[in-house]
Chain A
C-alpha cells in the first residue's frame, strides 16, 4: 500500500521529533536534570519505532524497550512530548506521576509501561494479545525488544504461546549488533536472529532498520496478518545505536571500545538523512519545508521542557495510592 504525501511527511516529522527528544534527554542527563541515574539513547534506531507505530490504531498496543526509553514508539503512538519529559524529570505531570522515570504509561493509547528486566514484558505482551483476540476487535500488539532480549527464557515462552494460540502480536527485534556490551555474534549461534523464529512456526523477515519506508512496509504485512487472525510474525531490523549502551559509561564492546569507524559506517545510512534525501528527490518536501519542520519540532521540545520544569514534584501521598487499587 503506497503511502500518501501526508503520511510520508508525518513519518519524517516523527523521526525528527524523536531524534530531538533523544538529544534533549542525553543533554538532560549530563545537566543532572533527570530523575533517575541513566539514559539509554536510541539515536540511529529511530526508523524502527516510527515506521511501526506512526499509523497504528489508537486501540492497538505497544510494548517498548529500555533503548531510548521508548521515545520512538510512544511518541509515534501519540503520547504528548510533555508527558514523556515530565516523567523523565520526575514531575507529577509525567505519564506515571513522576515515580516511573523510564516508564511511560498510557492505557488509552495501549501503552502499559516498561519495567526494568530485559524481555520482562514479553509474556505480558502475549497476555494482552490473548485479551485482544478474545475481544475480537482486531487489535494488534507490537512487542519491541532488542537482540539482547533473545537470551531471556520469558521471551521464548511468550513466542511459543503466541504461535500456539495464533495471537495477534508482532515480535519486533531491533538488532543493533550488541547486547549491552557483548556483540551478538558472541551470544547467538546464528547471524540472523530471525532464523530462530522459524522454530516456533512464526514467519519472519529481516529488514533494513535504517529505512523507514522498508520498516513501515514490512510492519504492515505483519500487522495485516495479525488483524486477520493469522497469528504472530517476527521482524528483525538490522540497525546500529550511535551512542554507548548507557550514557556516562564508555562505549565498550566486549574487550575494548567499539571502533568509531564501525559506527561511522552506519551513520552514512542515518535514517533521518536517507529519508530526507528520498523526500527531496520525490519532491515531497523542499528545503523550506525541512527548515519549517526543524523549527516546529525544536519548539515542541522547548515547550515540553518548559512545561516539565514548571511542574511540581510528586508528594509522598502517591506511594500508598499507587500500590493497591481500590
Chain B
C-alpha cells in the first residue's frame, strides 16, 4: 500500500468530498493559502467561492457556517489554531452545538469545524492548547481527533458527511507523520475506537498525538515483557466505551493519556465511566497522564507541563505495581509546526 503524510491525507479527504458534493465549501481565515498546507490545490480546483478567505472573525466564520448549514450547505469552518475557537464560543457552543436541540430537533446543522491543536512546538499558551474537554462538555457537538494519516482521511470524510456539527481536531505535530493509506475510497465511522495493539497486562487509552507517544513507550517496554493494549479513541463524541470496557475487563489495569489539562478533563471523565461500568475488574487504581493545570509556557519549560514519554512509563509502572522504575527515552519530536 502507498504511504502518504497526515497533511496529504487531510488534503485528499477535502478534495474528494468537495468533488463528490457541491454543497461542501470551506471558509476561514487564510484558507486559500492555509499555513498548515492542508489545502494545496483546492483553490485551483474549486475556485474562490468554495474556498473562501474571510476577515479574521472567528465568530463570523463559525456563525456563517451554522447559517449556511441550516440553509442546505455543508460548510467546513476553518479555524487556524484551536485556541482561537474561544473567540467564537457563542457560535460554537450556543449556536452550532445547541441549534437543533433548542428548535425541538427540526433543524440540522451539517458542518465541520476544522482546526489545528496541540503543543510540543513551544508556541506558548495561546497557540498550543487542546480544547477537547471544553468541547466534550457541550452536548450537541461531535469530536474527532485522528492520530494517523489513515484515520485523518477516513474520519474527515465521515465528518463532512455527518448531519451534525463535528469538530475535527488535527494535531500540528502529526502533519509530517506518514502512514499507509489506500488509494481506494474508504470512510471510518465516528465512535469506533482503534485497538492499535493487543495486550494482556495493562490498557492504555489515548488520542491524537498522545497515541504516537504511547506507541513509542510501549515499543520501548516490549523488552521488559510488559504486554500493553493500546486504544486510540479516534472520537470522543461518540465515545466507544464498549471497546474500553472490554479491554479493562481483560487487563484490569488502566492508564489514560490526554494532552489537554488533567483538571475537569477527558482523563477524569473516562476514568469515572470505567469505575461505573467495570470497577470490580480493576486490579489497581486507574492512573492518568495529562497536562499540568497551568498554562502552556513557550520555550524550554513547555516539556514540564505537557505529558511526556517518561510520565506514561511511570504510570504504567504504577498500575502494574512494579518496584523498579521503567526508564524510557523521550519521543523524538517531528517538526510538525512548520510555517511554510
**Contact residues of A with B, CB < 8 Å?**
61, 94-100, 103, 105, 107, 112-113, 115-117, 120-132, 134-135, 153-154, 157-158, 160-161, 164, 318, 321-326
Contact = CB atoms under 8 A, between A and B. Distances in A.
8 pairs of A and B residues whose beta carbons are closest in the complex: A127-B67, A123-B63, A322-B105, A96-B104, A127-B64, A131-B71, A97-B104, A157-B60
Given A105-B104, A128-B70, A318-B105, A122 B63 contact: yes
Given A113-B102, A322-B100, A325-B163, A160 B95 contact: no
Given A123-B91, A128-B68, A105 B63 contact: no
Given A127-B66, A128-B70, A95 B140 contact: no
Contacts of A164: 55
Interface in B20-44: 25
Nearest to A164: B55
Given A97-B104, A323-B100, A154 B63 contact: yes
B101 to A, nearest CB: 5
B106 interface: yes
Given A121-B95, A318-B104, A161 B163 contact: no
A103 B102 contact: yes
Contacts of B106: 95-97, 105, 107
A128 B65 CA distance: 8
A132 B71 contact: yes
B148 interface: no
B64 A130 contact: yes
Interface residues of B, number: 42
A318 to B, nearest CB: 7
Interface string B53-85: 011010110111111111111010000000000
Nearest to B111: A127
B64 A124 contact: yes
- Prevailing SS type, chain A contact patch: helix
B67 A125 contact: yes
Nearest to A97: B104
B57 A96 contact: no
A155 to B, nearest CB: 10
A115 B72 contact: no
A321 B63 contact: no
12 contacts: A116-B94, A124-B63, A124-B64, A127-B65, A127-B70, A130-B67, A160-B60, A161-B64, A322-B104, A323-B105, A324-B164, A325-B105
Given A61-B71, A134-B49, A105 B94 contact: no
B100 A123 contact: no
A160 B55 contact: yes
Contacts of B69: 127
Max chain B Cβ within 10 angstroms of own Cβ: one of A126, A153, A157: A157
A136 B101 CA distance: 30
Contacts of B71: 61, 127-128, 131-132, 135
A98 B104 contact: yes
